[in-house]
Structure 1
Amino acid sequence: MARLHAQSRATYGRPRLLKALAAQGMKKSAERVRRRLIRHRLRPVYRRAWQTITHSAHRLPLAPNLLARRFDGWGPNQAWVADITYLATDEDWLYLAAILDLGSRRIVGWSMSERIDAKLMGTALRSAYWQRRPPRGLSVHGDRGVPYVSGAHRELAQGYGMPMSMSRRANAWDNAPMESFF
């Protein structure tokens, strides 16, 4: 039983182990398998639930879609795209905000946090700005999530002379280079 559990990379619990044992011709009762799992401290590893991280149903002001899916033909520091993804850890979730330069196709700024908020995206934007020192007029494109449309993020982008651009609602294709990065 321990061998089957290990072969499944610890994903088999009692129901699957019962089927695997039966396939090998070993008939065991569910109760017996349960007791052995407990005795040997074998527990299945469950996949974490998928988590929604962008909430675009808000009343905050939006920016126009300045990129309009034109992802090619940009020089370095002319247009940046941004997104946030989540990473499962042994303890909880971590959120990674990253900014990609469409001209160089490199990550120019990033930030990681246990919370998804405007500070996460703001830290990534500050990181990108201080590493690259782009000229005024560089466009920063993101989705419609609260971290992008918050007043703090908007003020930061305006202070750097960066017009904001946002995807249409529920349209990942409008931010395809960044969506495909993760």
Structure 2
Amino acid sequence: MARCTVEHLMRELGVTGAVRGKKVITTIPDASAERAPDLVDRDFVAPAPNRCWVADFIHVTTFAGVVYVAFVVDTFSRRIVGWSAATSKETRLVLDALDMALWQRDRDQQPHQKGELIHHSDAGSQYTSFALAEHLDRAGIAASIGSVGDAYDNALMESTIGLFKTELIKPYRPWKTLSQVELATAEWVDWYCHRRLHGEIGHIPPAEYETKYYHETPGHSHDLESRSNPERFSSR
């Protein structure tokens, strides 16, 4: 079917396609902060879970004001292992997302091993802060920072945030409050990790991909699928 025909039918039906809009800049570097080196160098292929996590946050406009949502993603499986939402983009926002990631892995009995995990982000002031650096150091996680203003240095995280906006934020706006964004994000993350198919990992959900890895790797027998609740977002 010709493109013009599709456009004509969509106009008649009042249907619009899902379009990824322009990115609003949330990365404000702190020139005085000491930056960690870029340990990833745009290579987001990890040999196993808990080897490389990428992090970033975006803003969501609501009737009550701006809400910021931060994510932590495991590059091995594309699984969102941690997230947080707040009305302030202070360092606490990204610390809470990191804490959830650490808690989630501990709960699943697959904690990271000190010295094996890299936490990669852009050069925003939240990610170059002393508080985050200290938090990572205590957890035995190596900090990695990409260059300023280059989305390719955190491309996998940019892709995840793009899906979040395209699949949840834009279709269901306007948003009213922080609590509404939090509830919807929790449902979307659950669906994204347990139901959404990802072409980069063989057209299966991230949780299933990790389960497959642990079942096929000697020394790992924990079934992550048994902890999933895949129906929450599908009922939305």
Is residue 151 of structure 1 aligned with residue 130 of structure 2?
yes
Is residue 136 of structure 1 aligned with residue 114 of structure 2?
yes
Which among 103, 121, 124 is matched to residue 97 of structure 2? 124
Distance, in Å, in 1 between the alignment partners of 2:77 and 2:24 is: 31
Distance, in Å, in 1 between the alignment partners of 2:47 and 2:61 is: 34
Using the TM superposition, give the Cα deviation of residue 71 of structure 1 relative to its aligned residue in structure 2, in angstroms.
1.0
- TM-score between both structures, scaled by the size of structure 2: 0.54
State the SS of the aligned residue for 1:149: coil
Return the letter of the residue paired with 2:151.
Answer: A
Distance, in Å, in 1 between the alignment partners of 2:101 and 2:46 is: 21
Using the TM superposition, give the Cα deviation of residue 127 of structure 1 relative to its aligned residue in structure 2, in angstroms.
0.7
Which among 19, 37, 62 is matched to residue 35 of structure 2? 62
Q: Tell me what 2:79 maps to.
A: 106
Contiguous gaps of at least 5 residues in structure 1: 1-8, 10-49
CA distances 1:26-74 after superposition (whole Å, capped 9, x unpaired): xxxxxxxxxxxxxxxxxxxxxxxx8532111521000000000111243
Q: How well do the aligned residues superpose, as a CA RMSD in angstroms?
A: 1.5
Q: Which structure: larger Rg?
A: 1
Equivalenced residue count is: 134
Distance, in Å, in 1 between the alignment partners of 2:72 and 2:102 is: 10
Q: Tell me what 1:13 maps to.
A: none
The runs of at least 4 consecutive aligned structure 1 residues that moved more than 3 Å come to none
Distance, in Å, in 1 between the alignment partners of 2:47 and 2:160 is: 18
Distance, in Å, in 1 between the alignment partners of 2:152 and 2:32 is: 23
Please tell me whether the aligned partners of residues 74 and 102 of structure 1 are also in contact (alpha carbons under 8 angstroms): no
Contiguous gaps of at least 5 residues in structure 2: 1-13, 15-22, 106-110, 162-236
State the SS of the aligned residue for 1:61: coil
**Identity between Structure 1 and Structure 2 (%):** 37
- Measured at CA, do residues 140 and 73 of structure 1 come closer, stay the same or move farther in structure 2, by a change above 3 Å? closer
Distance, in Å, in 2 between the alignment partners of 1:57 and 1:152 is: 14
Is residue 96 of structure 1 aligned with residue 69 of structure 2?
yes
